[in-house]
Structure 1
Amino acid sequence: MGESDLIHLDVVGLNPAIVKHEKQEKAEFSINRKCYSHLKKKTFATFVASKRISSLWHCCDEAFSDSLSIHRHVSNVHANEVDMLISAALDQMSNQSEADDSVQTSLNECQAKDASSWMPDISHLSEDKFSEGPGEVILYYRYCQIKEPRLIRDWQNELCSRLHLTGKVRVATEGINGTVGGTKTATSLYIKAMMAHPIFQVMQVEDFKTSDGGADCFPDLKVGVYKEIVPMGVDPDVISYKLAGTHLEPDEFHKEVQSLLNDGSSDSDTILLDCRNFYESKIGQFKNCLAPDIRKFSYFPDYVEKNLDLFRNKKVLMYCTGGIRCERGSAYLRSKNVCKEVYQLKGGIHKYLEKFPDGFYRGKLFVFDERYSISFNDDIISDCRYCGTPWDQYQLCSTDFCYQLVLSCTACRQKGLTACCPLCQVKGQTSSRSPTSGRVHKEECECTNSRPRIPTDTS
C-alpha cells in the first residue's frame, strides 16, 4: 500500500491487519489503524493550534471565535496540507525505525508491553537521589483514549515505586489524572517518562504543575483504575470532556476577570464560577466569584440542575485547581444549553497564580494532600472557627465520626477546641469516654447546614 493510500484510507473501516509503508525496505516499520488515527488527530490538532492568536483563530483572512468553527474550516479547506504533514510524520517515523533497526509499534502494542519497557534508566543514580535533597509535588492530567487502563496502572505503580514517589494516580479509559511527590530528581524523571510514553507523548512540560513538597506530603502511593479520572458521577460516554468550554490562557482569563470587576454592576451578564468544593473556596477564591456550597465534585451536576435559571443567557468563566474539573464541569453546563458562553481557566488556579501571584485570586490554594494548601501570596481570607482570628490552616476534625476539615487557630487548639463545630466538640468529648469500634463514619456533620450558600467576598 502506498503512502498516499495510507493517508486517504478509511480509518474506521480498516481491518486490524498491518499497514506497511512503501519506503520500508529493511526495517519492519508498521502501523495499525489506532496508531494512524492517533497520528492524524495529533497532526490536525497541531495545525489548528498554529492558527491561534490570543482568544481567536486566524486563517485565510478570517477570524474564528470557537474551536468548532476553526475545526470545520481546516477540515474543509486545508485537508491537503494536513495530509502532507501526516506524510512527513510517517517518513520521520520510518526513518527513525530504520536507524534504530526496530519496529514502530502501534498504540495498542505500546499498551500491551511489559511495564518495564517504559522505565527510565536510573542505573547511574545513587539511591539517596530519591530520598534526599529538594522535593516537590507535581499535579497533572491528560484526557486521551487508553485501551487497557490496567496495564497503565501497573506501569504507573512500578514507575512510582522505582522513583520512590508517593501520591495518587487515577487511570481510566478516558485518560489519567495524578498528583505525586518526591525528590526533584525523581519528579523530573517521572515527567520525562510520561512524555516518552507513546500514549502521553503529546503532553508538554507545562502540563505538569509543580509546587514545593515531597514524598512526605502523601501517606502512601495509590494507583487505581476508575470509570472517571475526576469523579463527577456522570458517565464519560454521556458527558465527555470533548464538550468542554473554551480554554482561556491565564492572561486571557485575567483580562476577563478584570473586565468583570471593572463593570461592577449587580446585573452583569457574566458569572465567575468556582467549581471546587466549599472548603476549598473558603480559604481562597477569585473576587466576586460564585462558589457553590458543595462537599464533593459529584454534587456539581445537581447544583447546576437546581440553578439553571442562574446561568441562563450568561457568560460563564469557570475555574478550579488545575483545570481537570472544569473539563467535565463545563461540558456538563454546556449540555444544558442555557449559557450564552462557557469559558474555563486553562491550567486552573495553579497556572494563574504562577503568572499572577498578586492578581485577582486571594488567599491560599487548597491541595489534596497533607499540606492542605499552598501559598502564592500573603492573603488570609478565612478565620478561626472559634475565635474569629484570621486563620487558613486546615486540620481534620478531631472526632472519629467526622471527616470534615476545621479552621482552628493555635490558641483555640491549645484550649482543646479541635472539632469542626461545637456540636462535634461535645460529641468528641463524649465518644472519647466510650468505645468507638463499629462506628460508621459520616461524610458530613450537623454543622453542614449552617454554612452560607455563597461565601461572602472579602473586599
Structure 2
Amino acid sequence: MVPGEAPPAGPVSPRGSAEAVAAKKQRAFARRKAFSQFVKAKEVPAAARCSAGGEGVRWRCCRQAFEELSGIHRHVALQHAGDIGQQAGLAAKQAAAEVSSSSGPALAGSADGLHGCSHGSPEISCVLPDTSHVSYDDLTSKVGEVLLYYCYCEVKDPEKLCAWQKALCQHLHLTGKVRVASEGINGTVGGSKVAANLYIQVMLSQPLFKGILRQEDFKSSAGGAHCFPDLRVGVFKEIVPMGIDPKIVSYKETGIHLSPQEFHREVEQYLSQANQGQSNTILLDCRNFYESKIGHFQGCLAPDIRKFSYFPSYIDENLELFKDKRVLMYCTGGIRCERGSAYLRSKAVCREVYQLKGGIHKYLEEFPDGFYRGKLFVFDDRYAICSNEDIISACRYCGTLWDQYKLCSSQHCRQLVLTCPSCCNKGLTACCPVCQEKELKVTSRASGQTLKEECECTRRRPRVPIERVSQRMLDAGKD
C-alpha cells in the first residue's frame, strides 16, 4: 500500500446495504411527499377562481398563475428545490425521531431534530403545539387570516429561534415571512383561522416573549396561506431592514408611543392648525412611495423613497425641515417607526418625536373612516386591504381613479404598476415605456445570472429626494 493512502474499504454487509437502500427510499418518499404538499398548498380554491373570473387558473405561486399541472410542477422544481429539500429533511428527521422514541414514552408535540432545541437554553422553548384534536381540513382551510406582528427583545441564540419558528410554521401549515435577529422577531404569516389562533397562543406562551408580546400586538386581516408564495424564515442583522447596526441606533431609543385614539386627536389638532397656517408639527409617513401612493393620512409628508433603508439618508438630507418641530410618525404595523423614530431622535433636532402604536393597522380598527384615506398596502399577494371607499391614486396611463396594483408585465421587472382594466385591455400593462416597448432586454452572464436594463421608473427616481420647504405640506392639511 502506498504511504498515506487510505486502506481499501471492506466489503459492505448485506444488512448495511439493505439499510442504505431503505434510507434512500425513505428520503425519496419524503421528498415526493414534500413536493406534493407544496404544490397542494398553492392550489386556488374553486370559489376564488370563479369570483376572480379566472376559472382556468388552478395554482398561484410567486405571483404567477398556472393552469396546467405540468406548469406548476416545472415551476416548483426549478424555483423551490431548496424549500422542498428542507421540508423533506425535516419530515425525515421527525419520522426518525418517532421511530427512535417508539420504545419509550415521548413528550407530545416536542420539536425533535432541532439541534436539541427542547433541552437548550431556558429562554427559548421549542415545543410544538398538539394538533391531534384539529382536523387536517381545519388546519389547512383556504379561508383564514394574515397575521402581522413584531417583538423587540434580546435573543441570545437567533439560529435556535429561527429553527423553532420554521418548524412551528410548517407544523401549522403557515406561509409568509419571518425575520429573526439578536434584536427580536418580525413576522407576517398566513394560514387558516385555527392555525393562526394556535400560532398566537404558542407565541404568547414562548418564555422569550413573555411580558413583552401581547395579544393586541398581532394585527389580523382576512387572507390565508394562499396570500404568500411560500414560507421564508431566516436570521438577519435587523428585523426591519433600515441598514444601520442595531447597536448604533437601538429600538430602546424610540419615540413616544401614542395609542390610535391619542394619535387621532393629534392629527385632528394638526390639521386644524395647518389650515390656519400655524402648525409646528410634521405628520411623517415612514413607508415607501408605492405604499403612500394608494393610501395615507391627510396632510402627511410622504417621502418619495423606494426602500426603508433610504430613510436615514432622507432624514440626513432634510434635517432643516425637522428642526424644532413636533413629529408624528406612522407606518403599516409600527415596526419601521421603532427604528425610524430612534434615528430621528439621535439627530437631536426635533422638539418631540411621537409614533403611532400598532401602526395604520391598529388605527383602522378604531377609526375605519378616520383621517387615513385610501387603501393600506400589504407585503403579500393581496397588495392592499380596504377600510374605506376612497380611491386617492390614478391609473398610470389614463389618469382615471385606480388603486389596484399589478406587477409589471415585463418578465424581469419587479416594479408595481397602477393600470386600470381599460388600459390593460389595450395592452398597457408595464410600469413604464422602457418596459412596455423593450420588455427589458435580458443578457446572460457566463455565471448563468441575468442582467436587466434599468427601467424608467428606477432610473428617473432620485434615491433621496430633497424637500423644498414646505408650503406643500401646509397646503396638504387642507385636503
Structure 1 residues 443, 224: closer, same or farther in 2, change over 3 A?
Answer: farther
Alignment of 1:308-457 (within 5 A): 308-428=319-439, 431=441, 438-441=449-452, 445-446=456-457, 449=460, 457=476
Structure 1 residues 334, 443: closer, same or farther in 2, change over 3 A?
Answer: farther
Give 1:425 shift: 0.9
Distance 2:282 2:341 in 1: 13
Give 1:198 shift: 0.2
Letter in 2 for 1:210: S
Match of 2:134 among 125, 128, 131: 125
Distance 2:455 2:297 in 1: 26
Structure 1 residues 441, 121: closer, same or farther in 2, change over 3 A?
Answer: farther
Distance 1:126 1:443 in 2: 49
Match of 2:252 among 226, 242, 247: 242
Distance 2:377 2:459 in 1: 19
Higher mean alpha-carbon deviation, 244-253 vs 267-276, is at 267-276
Alignment of 1:199-210 (within 5 A): 199-202=208-211, 203-210=213-220
**Is 1:278 matched with 2:289?**
yes
Give 1:109 shift: 2.2
Give 1:216 shift: 0.3
Structure 1 residues 226, 253: closer, same or farther in 2, change over 3 A?
Answer: same
Match of 1:291 among 290, 302, 306: 302
Distance 2:182 2:119 in 1: 13
- Do 2:286 and 2:302's aligned partners in 1 also have CA atoms closer than 8 Å? yes
**Is 1:307 matched with 2:310?**
no
Give 1:120 shift: 1.1
What does residue 240 of structure 2 align with?
Answer: 230
Letter in 2 for 1:332: Y
Match of 1:189 among 195, 198, 214: 198
Give 1:200 shift: 1.3
Structure 1 residues 172, 435: closer, same or farther in 2, change over 3 A?
Answer: closer
Letter in 1 for 2:287: R
Structure 1 residues 189, 441: closer, same or farther in 2, change over 3 A?
Answer: farther
What does residue 160 of structure 1 align with?
Answer: 169
Equivalent pairs: percent with the same residue?
A: 61
Structure 1 residues 443, 279: closer, same or farther in 2, change over 3 A?
Answer: farther
Distance 1:148 1:256 in 2: 40
Give 1:129 shift: 1.2
Alpha-carbon displacement from aligned partner over 1:138-189 (angstroms, at most 9, x marks no partner): 0000000110011111111110001000000000000000000000000000
Distance 1:187 1:401 in 2: 34
Structure 1 residues 293, 347: closer, same or farther in 2, change over 3 A?
Answer: same
Distance 1:370 1:388 in 2: 24
Letter in 2 for 1:231: P
Structure 1 residues 111, 442: closer, same or farther in 2, change over 3 A?
Answer: farther
Distance 2:240 2:362 in 1: 19
Structure 1 residues 326, 441: closer, same or farther in 2, change over 3 A?
Answer: farther
**Is 1:259 matched with 2:275?**
no
Letter in 2 for 1:146: V
What does residue 3 of structure 1 align with?
Answer: none
Letter in 1 for 2:223: G
Alpha-carbon displacement from aligned partner over 1:305-355 (angstroms, at most 9, x marks no partner): 000000000000000000000000000000000000000000000000010
**Is 1:214 matched with 2:224?**
yes
Letter in 2 for 1:227: K
Q: Secondary structure at the residue paired with 1:280?
A: helix
Distance 1:352 1:444 in 2: 36
Q: Secondary structure at the residue paired with 1:260?
A: helix
- Do 2:241 and 2:308's aligned partners in 1 also have CA atoms closer than 8 Å? yes
What does residue 121 of structure 2 align with?
Answer: 109
Match of 2:187 among 178, 191, 213: 178
Distance 1:177 1:441 in 2: 31
Distance 2:259 2:450 in 1: 47
Give 1:193 shift: 0.4
Letter in 2 for 1:140: Y
TM-score normalised according to structure 2 size: 0.69
Distance 1:275 1:325 in 2: 7
Alpha-carbon displacement from aligned partner over 1:77-131 (angstroms, at most 9, x marks no partner): xxxxxxxxxxxxxxxxxxxxxxxxxxxxx99722465x3xx21111111111111
Structure 1 residues 381, 205: closer, same or farther in 2, change over 3 A?
Answer: same
Alpha-carbon displacement from aligned partner over 1:240-286 (angstroms, at most 9, x marks no partner): 00000000000000000000111124452100000100000000000
Higher mean alpha-carbon deviation, 448-457 vs 310-319, is at 448-457
- Do 1:246 and 1:343's aligned partners in 2 also have CA atoms closer than 8 Å? yes
Letter in 1 for 2:368: P
Letter in 1 for 2:149: Y
Alpha-carbon displacement from aligned partner over 1:17-42 (angstroms, at most 9, x marks no partner): xxxxxxxxxxxxxxxxxxxxxxxxxx
Letter in 2 for 1:156: Q
Distance 1:144 1:443 in 2: 39
Match of 2:145 among 131, 136, 151: 136
- Do 1:136 and 1:182's aligned partners in 2 also have CA atoms closer than 8 Å? yes
- Do 1:145 and 1:173's aligned partners in 2 also have CA atoms closer than 8 Å? yes
Q: Unmatched 5+ residue regions in structure 1?
A: 1-105
Q: Unmatched 5+ residue regions in structure 2?
A: 1-117
Structure 1 residues 435, 331: closer, same or farther in 2, change over 3 A?
Answer: closer
- Do 2:144 and 2:190's aligned partners in 1 also have CA atoms closer than 8 Å? yes
